[in-house]
Amino acid sequence: MSATANPEKSGNINRPPLVTVITPLWNENDAIPALVAALRRLFQDTSADWEWLAVDDGSSDDTAARVRGEMRGMARARLVCLTRNFGQQAAYRAGLDHAAGDAVVFLDADLQDPPEVIPEMLARWREGARLVVGRRRSRPERGVRGLLLRGFHVVFGRLTNNVMPHDSGTFGLMDRLVVEELKRLPERNLFLPALRCWLGYKQAEVWYDRHERAGAPKQTYAKLFNYAWNGITSFSEIPLRFISWLGVTLCVFATLCAALIFAQRVGQWFGWWTDRLVVGFTTQTIGIFFLGGVQLLCIGIVGEYLARIYREIKGRPHYLVERVEEAHDRDVLKHE
Ligand code: UDP
Ligand code: MG
Instruction: Please choose from 218, 225, 227 the residue to mutate so as to test ligand 1's pocket, defined by most ligand atoms within 8 A of CB.
Output: 218
Nearest listed ligand to the Cα of residue 91: 1
Q: Do 33 and 170 lie in a common domain?
A: yes
User: For residue 86, which ligand has an atom nearest its CA?
Assistant: 1
CA of residue 109 to ligand 2 center, whole Å:
7
Nearest to 18 by CA among 31, 7, 32, 28: 7
Residues 57 and 106 in one domain: yes
Q: Considering the domain boundaries, does residue 247 fall inside one?
A: yes
In this structure, which residue's CA is closest to atom 2 in ligand 1?
88
* Cβ atoms within 10 Å of 25's Cβ, excluding its own: 28
* Cα–ligand 2 centroid distance for 138 (angstroms): 14
181 within a domain of the structure (yes/no):
yes
* Nearest ligand, CA 24: 1
The rounded distance, in Å, linking the Cα atoms of 116 and 210 is 12
27-60 pLDDT per residue, tens = 999 999 999 999 999 999 999 999 999 999 999 9
Query: Minimum mean pLDDT among 10-14, 17-21, 56-60, 237-241: which range?
Result: 10-14
Q: What are phi and psi of 200, to 5 degrees?
A: 95, 5
128 vs 114: CA distance, rounded Å: 23
Residue 179 placed within a domain: yes
Per-residue pLDDT tens digits for 287-299: 899 999 999 999 9
Q: Which atom of ligand 1 is nearest to the CA of 224?
A: 24
Q: How far apart are the first and last CA of the chain?
A: 28
Atom of ligand 1 nearest to the CA of 23: 15
Residues 6+ apart with CB under 8 A from 172: 105, 106, 121, 131, 132, 133, 134, 193, 196
Q: Are residues 82 and 213 in the same domain?
A: yes
Residues 298 and 261 in one domain: yes
pLDDT at 82 over 90: yes
Per-residue pLDDT of 135-185, as tens digits, reads 999 888 888 888 998 899 999 999 999 999 998 999 999 999 999 999 999
Is 90 exceeded by the pLDDT of residue 223? no
Number of helices (H), then strands (E), belonging to the chain: the values are: 10, 9
Q: Which whole number is the average pLDDT over 194-223? A: 91
Q: Which atom of ligand 1 is nearest to the CA of 92?
A: 7
Q: Can you give the pLDDT at residue 336?
A: 42
Q: Which helix (H) or strand (E) holds 183?
A: helix 176-184
The b/e string for 90-116 (b: 16+ C-beta within 10 A; e otherwise) is bbbbbbbebbebbbbbbbbbbbbbbbe
Are the CB atoms for 172 and 193 separated by under 8 Å? yes
Q: Which residues line ligand 1 (CB under 6 A)?
A: 24-26, 28, 57, 85, 87-88, 91, 108-110, 112, 213, 217-219, 223
Give, using CA atoms, the residue closest to atom 19 of ligand 1: 217
pLDDT digits (tens, 9 = 90+) for 5-16: 455 554 455 789
Relative to the CA of 213, which ligand 1 atom is closest?
A: 19
Which amino acid does the sequence have at 161? N
Q: Tell me: do 213 and 267 sit in the same domain.
A: no
Please name the amino acid found at residue 57.
D
Percentage with pLDDT > 90 across the chain:
71
Angle between helices 221-235 and 88-98 (to 10 degrees): 70
4 is a domain residue = no
**Would residue 45 count as lying in a domain?**
yes
Q: Are residues 222 and 330 in the same domain?
A: yes
Give me ligand 1 centre to Cα 4, in Å.
30
Q: Which position has the higher pLDDT, 104 or 260?
A: 104
Same domain, 25 and 121: yes
pLDDT on residue 328 = 62
Other C-beta atoms lying within 10 Å of the C-beta of residue 186? 7
Tell me which residue range forms the domain holding 285. 238-314
Q: CA 255, CA 263: separation in Å to the nearest integer?
A: 12
Of residues 279 and 230, more confidence is placed in 230
For residue 86, give the ligand 1 atom closest to its CA: 8
| Structural domain total, the chain | 2
pLDDT, position 267: 87
Determine the Cα–Cα distance for residues 154 and 82; give it in Å rounded to an integer.
33
Q: Quick check: is 106 in a domain?
A: yes
Whether complex ipTM tops 0.90: yes
Do 291 and 168 sit in the same domain of this protein? Answer: no
- The answer to whether residue 2 sits within a structural domain is no
Q: Are 175 and 101 in contact, with CB atoms under 8 Å apart?
A: no
In this structure, are 229 and 261 located in the same domain? no
Which residue among 110, 112, 318 is best mutated to probe the pocket of ligand 1, counting the most ligand atoms within 8 A of its Cβ?
A: 110
Is residue 62 within 8 A of residue 12, CB to CB? The reply is no
Within-domain flag for 41: yes
Indicate whether 249 and 281 sit together in one domain. Answer: yes
Is the Cβ–Cβ distance between 204 and 129 less than 8 Å? Answer: yes
What does the pLDDT read at residue 1? 39
Nearest to 26 by CA among 53, 64, 75: 64
Q: What rounded mean pLDDT belongs to the chain?
A: 90
